[in-house]
Structure 1
Amino acid sequence: MRFLIMLFFCSPFLAQNMETSLEHICKENQLMGLAVYTFSSTTEKVYAVGYRNEAQKLPITPETKFRIASISKAFTALGLMKLYDKKMFQLDDAISDYLNFKVENPNFPGVPITFRMLLSHTSSIQDGAGYDAFLASTYNETPSPSVSSVITPTGKSFTSDMFMNYKPGTYFTYCNFNYGLIGTLIEKISKQRFDIYMKNEILNPLGITATFNLQDIEDIQTIGTIYRFDEKGWLPNKDDFKGIKPSPSDLNNYKVGNNAVFFAPQGGLRASALDIGKFIKYLKNEGKTAKILSKKTIQLMKKNQWTFTGNNGDHYNGFFKQYGLGLHQTNLNTSDLIYDPDFFGNFIGHAGDAYGLISDAYFSEKQNFGFVVITNGCLIPFEKGKNSSFYKFEEEIFKLVCEDFIKKTSKVK
């Protein structure tokens, strides 16, 4: 399954060991493929194993872009926080003040829902039954419906379970629609279409070619297909373009600030492992690699906003124990362990899971180290991890890349 590897400042012997180990993990866990990125103070590496397209036998390469699922939320959060940095809103402002309709939990009238709550998933909004109908309308109706249609009681897609029976700001529940609202607020405040704003203000300054708009991809063959497996074999589940770029959507009637869910700010960014690596490296170095946010605002993003105390949130089988402003904080408890908290401290970043793709992007608070892991499918159901809420293959890769960093760090010392 060996295809291509891109390395910077690392020995061929070490690279061979790492690549061989990743091939073994890929084969043992019956994955379609892997893209793995790591960085330290002296090295930056990308490893690629397996296929980006099984039918065409196209290998994953360092340039392969995937629809990276919820890691997209961290990018979207950065986009919103740039507007915060420009003092265009305050975190504890009511979002209703920036929209043309009121967003309010019917169970708690008069309690504002704020930017901080959306970013930290404490808004009391959840992906209720109406959310799927709203998504279908978003992609099948022209023009797309307003986000108000699913979040206000008079909206055609609204269902009462779009809100939880918890006071806004008091309970964590992971919610995709929070970030659909954030994307729409970015449009409202910036007066720019979400994908264009993100490209010009976030992605281009980071020096990456990731995009929320498929039409920005010059070579459609660089997109990795996402797979599931059934009795008929490998089943393409997302982005199986067969070398043909889809026709562009008709955006003539697109209304800025109406419904940015169209561009999937919650999970639709297409990016390579290297693209994501530059993003987490930017956050780790607190803005030294690109001029986007102030150091103070990056530190605010990384600051914890919610901590699980036993009954103040849905922790998803122990996966979510702390959350910042668009950033997951982990490696603090047995259930969310990545590797050796005494050495690495807290890991900050985000994970993703959609259509058969699993993705991770985290950096250590204590060490100058971070990593990205992406797989585009598994022959069998993903096996639960032995030591945490991560999957088994994730635990194996985390151990591999973390021990590699520790080994090299000890040699330097």
Structure 2
Amino acid sequence: MHPTSLKILFFFLLFQAGSAVLLAQNYRDSLDLELTKLSAEAKLPGLSVVIVNQDKIVYKKSLGWANRENKKPFTINTIENIGSVSKTFIAVALMKAIEKGYFTLETDINTILPFKVENPSFPNQAILIKHLVTHTSGIIDNDSIYHRSYLFRHTVTIDPTLQTFMQQYGYVGGIQDTTLQGFLQNYLTPKGTLYTQKNFYPSSPGTRSSYSNIGSALLAYLIEVKAGMSFADFTQTNILKPLRMHHSSWFLEKPIQNQHATPYFTTEIAIPFYSLITYPDGGLRTSAQDLSNYVQEMMRGLAGRSTLLDKDSYNLMFTPAFSADHLPENFSLKNRNKGVLWNVYNDGFIGHDGDDPGVSTNILFTKQMGIILMSNIYLEDRSKFLTVLKKYGTKLIQNK
């Protein structure tokens, strides 16, 4: 090639690279502004978002306070419990348990459990693991009992407005057996102290969809029984440690307390720290930084590059369970399908949301892009946040 042509090519490539950097910075600035505006409109105490590709963080932004009173900033290293995003860790743990030969999705849960669980309306029809992972087991959350499984630390004065809310919705505690096994046995077996037929929907297993935290916690307990260790220890060994999620825990332990966000009922009213008896269904405490490692691994799994699980496990975990001609009652395919606990959305993303008192969390990913959103207040509608994150995230990934 002629030297002049080489110079032209060099400057063209340099211009292209410079343009990409400029575009990416413009997209970051625009996303910064959008998030700041939305956060102010929603009156969020604190917020952290991260956008990743399979190998690195391409965008991160934190706003507001982990603790308003002490002016402690919310950062990507701030820790909070992530609500039902925790269920995706049950899904990954379940796939690992299947790889270890503990059971399959077709296994009858009563061949594993040390106590018998049956729907009183259909006592002769087996509840299979696949029914639990798609929320079609017939086990439902009786909120008059389930909300009592939240154990609030009454070591601080509770605001009267919050106290009224907690009383109204049954966050009053009082459950005696606070072990995972004890709660499940008392809730699911006729002689249990928490048992009522209202703990089950009168539908045959597999025929009706009803989102169940307790059914999800039962999945975690099945893993405990077969593994001979707690679900917390199983996930520490098989998920958290391999993914270097060193600041994540199922319990409010001293090493993470200094980085833990205060949950808020309103921007002015703090919620006492709490734990969950059925902790696997919503109790993982982690940060946006640690979650980025997790989401990246899920993206690599979707692309066939993960070392955490086998390729077949990812295929099974993310395969839609329902179709138009095989659709349980009370489930719509308008926006999403269901994998193994994961939501498989019609726009190509896979993920889950998390909602609890003082908690709003979302993770979403495709092969190309992953999104993490965390805030220390319950926000019913995060669609505006997710829309701008998808919009600018796509542009940032393309111009990285």
Is 1:33–1:49's contact at 8 Å kept on the other side of the alignment?
yes
How far, CA to CA, are the matches of 2:326 and 2:216 in structure 1? 25
Q: Which amino acid aligns with 1:200?
A: T
Determine the structure 2 residue equivalent to 1:75. 89
Residue 190 (1) aligns with residue 227 (2): yes
- Offset of residue 155 of structure 1: 1.2
User: Unaligned 5+ residue runs, structure 1?
Assistant: 1-8, 241-248, 250-260, 333-340, 384-390
* Pair 1:315–1:53, CA change in 2 (3 A): farther
Partner letter of residue 44 of structure 2?
Answer: L
Deviation of residue 14 (structure 1)? 4.4
Counterpart in 2 of 1:257? none
Counterpart residue identity of residue 39, structure 1? V
The 1:350/1:29 distance shift into structure 2, 3 A limit, reads same
Q: CA deviation at 1:105?
A: 0.6
Q: CA deviation at 1:312?
A: 3.0
Return the offset for 1:17.
3.4
Quote the residue 1:19 is aligned against.
Answer: 32
Letter of the structure 2 residue corresponding to residue 349 of structure 1:
G
Aligned length: 353
Inter-CA distance 42–76: structure 2 relative to 1 (3 Å threshold): closer
* 1:407 pairs with 2:395: yes
Instruction: Normalising by structure 1, report the TM-score.
Output: 0.77
Aligned to 1:100: 114
Q: Deviations over 1:166-208 (max 9, x none)?
A: 1101111101001221121111010012211111111111111
Match of 1:213 among 248, 251, 255: 251
C-alpha distance in structure 1 between counterparts of 2:175 and 2:287, whole Å: 25
Structure of greater relative contact order (alpha carbons < 8 Å, 6+ residues apart): 2
Q: Is the 8 A contact 1:206 1:289 kept in 2?
A: no
One-letter code aligned to 2:363: A
* Structure 1 range deviating more: 402-411 or 159-168: 402-411
In 2: Cα distance, 1:148 partner to 1:165 partner:
20
Distance across 2 between alignment mates of 1:41 and 1:353: 26
Judged with a 3 Å threshold, the aligned counterparts in structure 2 of structure 1 residues 309 and 374 are, in CA distance, closer, same or farther, namely: farther
Contact 1:187–1:193 under 8 Å retained in 2: yes
Q: Aligned letter for 2:42? A: N
Matched, 1:64 2:81: no
Instruction: State how far apart, in whole Å, the 1-side matches of 2:210 and 2:122 are.
Output: 17
Matched, 1:302 2:318: yes
Q: Contact between 2:179 and 2:277, CA under 8 Å: does it hold in 1? A: no
Q: Is the 8 A contact 2:51 2:393 kept in 1?
A: no
CA contact (8 A) 2:295 2:363 kept: yes
DSSP-derived class of the 1:186 partner: helix
Which residue of 1 is the match for residue 48 of structure 2? 35
Larger Rg: 2
Q: CA deviation at 1:403?
A: 1.9
Distance in 2 separating the partners of 1:409 and 1:132: 41
* Cα RMSD for the two superposed structures: 2.9
**Is the 1:131–1:150 Cα contact (8 Å) retained in structure 2?**
no
Check conservation: 1:213, 1:263, Cα contact below 8 A.
no
Aligned residue number for residue 156 of structure 1:
193
Instruction: Report deviation, 1:355.
Output: 0.1
Contact 1:277–1:361 (CA under 8 A) maintained in structure 2: no
Task: Flag the 1:125–1:140 CA change in 2: closer, same or farther, 3 A.
Answer: same
| 3-state SS, counterpart of residue 361 of structure 2 | strand
Partner of 1:372: 372
Identity within the alignment, %: 26
Normalization by structure 2: what TM-score?
Answer: 0.80
How many angstroms apart in 2 are the aligned matches of 1:29 and 1:42?
Answer: 32
Match of 2:61 in 1: 47
Give the AA of the match of 2:69.
A
Of Structure 1 and Structure 2, the greater helix share is in 2
Q: Structure 1 residues 155 and 409, CA, compared in 2 at 3 Å: closer, same or farther?
A: closer
